[in-house]
Amino acid sequence: MKKPVTGSVITINFVPLLEGLSWQITYQGEALEFPWTEGSISPRALLTDPRWPQLEALYQRWADDELTRTGPGEYLLSWERFLASPESFLALFQLPSPKAPDIRLKARGAITEPRFHIEALVTLPPYAGNLLQWGRRIGPWLETARGPVTLTGASARLLDRLLTAPGPDIDGRTLFLAEVKQLAKDAGARLDPYLEREEYILVDQVTVDPVLDNGTIRLRARYDHPDLPSEALREGTLSRPSTGLGRKRWIARPEARRQFRRLDALPPITGQDVPKFVKNPEAFLPEDVTLDLTAFSERVKGLKIRVYRAQPFLHATETERGWFTLDAGVRLESPEDEPPAEPVLTPDELLSAIQHVGPDESLIPLGNDWIEVPPAARTALQQLSALRNRSTEPVSRERLPYVLDIFTNLEQVEFNPPFHPWIWTDPNEDVEPPAWFQASLHPHQRDGVRFLWHRAAHRRGVLLADEMGLGKTVQVIAWFAILHERSRLRPSLVVAPVALLSNWQEELTKFAPKISWAAHYGPHRARQIDHLPDADVILTSYETVSRDQLILGQVDWNAIVLDEAQLIKNVSTGRAEAVKALKNTYRVALTGTPVENSLSDLWSIVDFVQPGLLGSLREFRQTYETATKNPDPDIQGALTRAISPIYRRRTKKESGLALPPKTAYRFHVPFGPEQQHRYQEVLKAVKARQVAPLPALRQLQNILGHPLAVEGRSAPWNRIPVSSIPKLAKTLEILHTIHGQSEKALIFTPSRTLQAMLQFWIMREFNLTPYVINGDVTARQQLVHHFNQASGFQVMILTPQAGGVGLTLTGANHVIHYSRWWNPAVENQATDRVHRIGQTRPVSVYYPLVVDQDPRITAQGTVDEILDRLLEDKQGLANAVVIPSRHLDLQQELLERALGRGPSDPVI
């Protein structure tokens, strides 16, 4: 915007660049930064500034991570994001909507001639003649005397390619023509007869075919196009077609040529690498080469090289109290999607085969196939062989080997003796972190450290499932410090989402300065085992473990810790299989939500922590899945007891933690006049089937927040006085009380429209700009830091889902749930952003609810009333870890009650 706006102290200018639109923003002549500080700007004055709607729109796009800061007060909106902008954004800045012009292409000269090029005639009413002659074009932006014109992305890409020289040789010209024809198709351009007739087809996909040859796998690169004859393309250059192919020609992009050469140069796969390749082909391919790995994996399966997993089994039959007869052997577990394998080997037979491979090898040839022997199997096989050789003799319970690490137990339990009595006892050794450990542990954390130490002393795993906010990470670091003192830590591995790895780095450095750590993730990580960092603790991501399992799987890790362990909830994913295949001494899983979709989530995590503890997956499902469909206290209790040997979960209430008190306040307010009218109109529209139920439910929630919310984010919020919207009036009253105490508040609502409304009124009432966070907060950690560190009154507005991984907001001690989400677990996690370790002040939670004081308006009350009752009823289940979070989703029940539908009526 070049022209100043009368009465505005804000200037917003934009300049088209090759990368996108560059915005320059100033306030009273000074560069304006997002987020602005209250000392340098008057939020109340902003609301009355004519430029405020534009500034608010840009601020929101910055908050949504769509604007990139390029300098003081300068932000870039990429062309891709600009072209995807809603009409409301374009109208706000009087920006032209993208238009698809009529493009006609005409060849000048033949492709065999060096002078060959293509001219474009671009027309777009009301412009006469060639639009390109009207002004200067930058990407999709065209400056003309009549004002700017925006072309569609496809049109701009075609015109950009036409500006580049075709190339001096025939290969360059044919590539140019193939690319132009592809872009012309995308843009809907028209071609002259010569260009239409010359079929130069662009090939930009490369794939590789695995070929088995006398036990060796060779990787043959090929160009991938549905119509491409095998003889038509060699090394990306144009080949003359054989008879019958007509005028078709194929040509590859330079990048495709480079990929072809890299893939074609891959060495053959031999020996022990053959079964490794079959199990994890991705690890043998260059990481920066783009392939459809799903299709590639299917071609690898087509080689019909089977890699069986050796599953030793030990079945014990009790003959008298404490004595057993044993049946021991090795079953070969078939690869996925293969018929069950029949062979059962004796431990002696497999031990004999193992003698012919190196001590560090885990793959044994079996004819044309292979047997994978788990890391702990050699010792287990020796124990099983000794037991089998004396199987006629009864064996006492104390002599049963404990070798659960080698069993998968998916279809059947391969190890059935009872646990030794010690595993059911509580920790009894009073261990403490060394003096150099820099954190003061709370009682529940000291108990957690003892639990970790006690289980580790007996090489057992731990599932630490403390409620969010109780400090699971610091408990593990304290345990690391004890292991470090006793020379049992190096090397250990922490696997976490990428967003949390920086938090591990900070807390290791802060709390345990003697523990060295190194990162192993990202494009510059080590690619060979000899180059892995030399450190006490290696930090990596789940994606890296999946890709680098052939490297990381060779390391004898002491401790392996999975943070956010619910990410291995699906037993069939490569991620879950990769982490479970790592060699280790101690295993720890950390998660506050071990059950999300089904109880199988819990089984998969326990299968990492302590394989076999919950029996086979098949039996587990038959026994416990009913607990999630029809909650049965007896079944839930049995499951809790079953996992108790390796399980610790403390809620804030149970932990004995001296957190400040948390008090909930419900405020019942009536409809405002316009709210009531609009609410009834939506109910009538649903009954007349003019509005679908789910959108209607969202409209009703928004209307209860503000009657103008149906008009969108840019509604004139001050058109209706606050006194006519009791819910808003009560919320502002609560905020005035918090303001008088110089404290901070979080306001949760899933509606971005209501967020904009609340932002407007808070700025107007308090001369303060509230922080707004939606979705993934990792890109806006500076907002969290500013909010926590700011002194005095401050407000942050969030969606409930933003109260997820890695967000600590203990700077606030007030939480307002302005409009609710229909899952109590999600809402509890949102509140836990404030009520957690680090909070020193009493926490107040407020629920302003619009209630129906006239029973003729609604059948069972307002959406606010119904949802509040449903959430309250489900709180007990929300605290039960064995109830999947998705089964707490109350949307369907809310729809039925709020819209007057019966359970049998379809609502979606």
3-state secondary structure of 159: helix
State the pLDDT at residue 288.
73
Question: Once rounded to an integer, what is the mean pLDDT over residues 360-385?
Answer: 75
State the pLDDT at residue 399.
58
- Indicate the angle between helix axes 693-705 and 673-687, nearest 10 degrees: 180
- Residue 713 near residue 752 (C-beta atoms within 8 A): yes
Residue 701 has pLDDT above 70, yes or no: yes
In the numeric block, which tokens belong to residue 179? 């690319």
CA 568 to chain centre: 13
State which of 155-169, 343-357, 624-638, 715-729 shows the largest mean pLDDT: 715-729
Q: Give Cβ neighbours of residue 295 (< 8 Å, ≥ 6 apart).
A: 207
Percent of the chain with pLDDT over 70: 83
Q: Which residue has the higher pLDDT, 528 or 721?
A: 721
Q: Which residue has the higher pLDDT, 827 or 229?
A: 827
Ramachandran region, residue 691 (left: φ > 0; alpha: ψ -120 to 50; beta: rest):
beta
- Residue 830 near residue 843 (C-beta atoms within 8 A): no
Q: Quickly state the pLDDT bin for 527 (edges 50, 70, 90).
A: confident
State the pLDDT at residue 320.
66
Q: Which residue in 709, 699, 815 sits closest to 754, CA to CA?
A: 709
C-alpha separations of 31 from 248, 498, 588, 624 in Å: 57, 34, 50, 61
- Write down the residue that tokens 């009529």 correspond to: 102
- Residue 182 near residue 191 (C-beta atoms within 8 A): no
Residue 65 has pLDDT above 90, yes or no: no
Q: Which of 44-53, 288-297, 410-419, 879-888 has the lowest mean pLDDT?
A: 410-419
State the pLDDT at residue 419.
44
State the pLDDT at residue 404.
41
Q: Give Cβ neighbours of residue 522 (< 8 Å, ≥ 6 apart).
A: none
Q: Give Cβ neighbours of residue 387 (< 8 Å, ≥ 6 apart).
A: 314, 326, 328, 395, 401
State which of 149-153, 327-331, 337-341 shows the largest mean pLDDT: 149-153
State the pLDDT at residue 244.
44
Residue 232 has pLDDT above 80, yes or no: no
Sign of CA dihedral 134, 136, 137, 143: negative
What kind and span of H or E run contains 196? Answer: helix 193-197
Maximum CA extent, the chain: 101
Residue 332 has pLDDT above 70, yes or no: yes
Provide the whole-model pTM: 0.71
Residue 1 has pLDDT above 60, yes or no: no
Q: Which residue in 740, 791, 732 sits closest to 762, CA to CA?
A: 732
Q: DSSP assignment of 366-396, as one string? A: ETTEEEEPPTTHHHHHHHHHHHHHTTTS-EE
Q: Quickly state the pLDDT bin for 463 (edges 50, 70, 90).
A: very high
Residue 409 has pLDDT above 70, yes or no: no
In the numeric block, which tokens belong to residue 381? 């096989």
- Residue 536 near residue 492 (C-beta atoms within 8 A): yes
Q: Which residue in 596, 604, 564 sits closest to 826, CA to CA?
A: 596
CB atoms closer than 10 angstroms to residue 632: 14
Residue 520 has pLDDT above 90, yes or no: yes
In the chain, the domains with their CATH numbers are 10-78 (no CATH), 102-186 (no CATH), 200-301 (no CATH), 307-418 (no CATH), 423-655 (3.40.50.10810), 662-898 (3.40.50.300)
Cα–Cα distance, 151 to 187 (Å, whole number): 10
Residue 777 has pLDDT above 90, yes or no: no
State the pLDDT at residue 908.
28
Strand order from edge to edge, sheet including 141-144: 135-138, 141-144, 147-150
Q: Which residue has the higher pLDDT, 589 or 772?
A: 589
State the pLDDT at residue 643.
87
Q: Quickly state the pLDDT bin for 761 (edges 50, 70, 90).
A: very high
Q: Give Cβ neighbours of residue 50 (< 8 Å, ≥ 6 apart).
A: 5, 6, 7, 8
Q: Quickly state the pLDDT bin for 61 (edges 50, 70, 90).
A: confident
Pairing label, strands 190-191, 147-150? unpaired
Cα–Cα distance, 364 to 369 (Å, whole number): 9
Q: Quickly state the pLDDT bin for 341 (edges 50, 70, 90).
A: low
Tens-digit pLDDT profile for residues 196-223 = 888 888 888 888 889 888 888 999 888 8
Residue 346 has pLDDT above 90, yes or no: no
Q: Quickly state the pLDDT bin for 813 (edges 50, 70, 90).
A: very high
Cα–Cα distance, 780 to 804 (Å, whole number): 13
Range list of H helices, 64-133? 79-83, 87-92
Q: Quickly state the pLDDT bin for 23 (edges 50, 70, 90).
A: very high
Question: Once rounded to an integer, what is the mean pLDDT over residues 735-750?
Answer: 95
State the pLDDT at residue 416.
44
Tens-digit pLDDT profile for residues 648-696 = 888 777 777 777 888 999 999 999 999 999 998 998 888 888 888 888 8
Mean pLDDT of the chain: 82
Residue 428 has pLDDT above 70, yes or no: no
Q: 269 has which bridge partners?
A: 217
Percent of the chain with pLDDT over 90: 32
